[in-house]
Amino acid sequence: MSQENVEVVKRAVAAVNDRDVESYLACCTADVRMENPVMAIEGAYEGSDGIRRFFADVLDTGPDFRVTIESLESIGTDRVLGFMRLNMRGRASGISLGSDIPSTNLYDFTDGKIKRVRIFLDRKEALEAVGLSE
């Protein structure tokens, strides 16, 4: 199941970049939870309504927000660790909110779907969350 999970993450990231919330939700369980330090002012995004709010937040604050996958690694049968790069500009100001920001995403799976996404801006913290070290 691990390679299949990697493919699901690739589809989910493509959906974020394409602003395709329905395709993203198709990759997730109904009770998906996204913990995102970049955009989550109101806390974690939970369920389909939370994911829809995440997509709305992205469009509102950084319409050109992009995620680039550096690498994806399967951790056991139900986790994928993704090393990513984030890029975005502010809608109103046009000022870069971040260019080539490293992030590490930890995806937990249930029955081949994303159950939880934890996004870390500190890669060491992400590796510690899965019991690994650099």
Nearest to 16 by CA among 58, 77, 50: 58
Q: Could you tell me the pTM of the whole model? A: 0.88
pLDDT of residue 39: 57
Q: What are the pLDDT digits (tens) for 4-60?
A: 999 999 999 999 999 999 999 999 999 999 998 765 466 789 999 999 999 998 888
Place 100 in a pLDDT band, splitting at 50, 70 and 90. Answer: confident
Question: Measured between alpha carbons, how far is residue 84 from residues 6, 70, 106, 111 in Å?
Answer: 13, 5, 11, 24
* Gap between the Cα atoms of 97 and 100, Å rounded: 10
Decide if 80 contacts 109 (C-beta within 8 A): yes
Nearest to 114 by CA among 9, 2, 3: 9
In this structure, which amino acid lies at residue 129?
A: A
Place 62 in a pLDDT band, splitting at 50, 70 and 90. Answer: confident
pLDDT of residue 113: 98
pLDDT of residue 2: 83
Higher pLDDT, 89 or 16: 16
2-128: what fold? Nuclear Transport Factor 2; Chain: A, (3.10.450)
In this structure, which amino acid lies at residue 30?
A: A
Task: Delimit the domains of the chain by residue range.
Answer: 2-128
pLDDT at 96 over 50: no
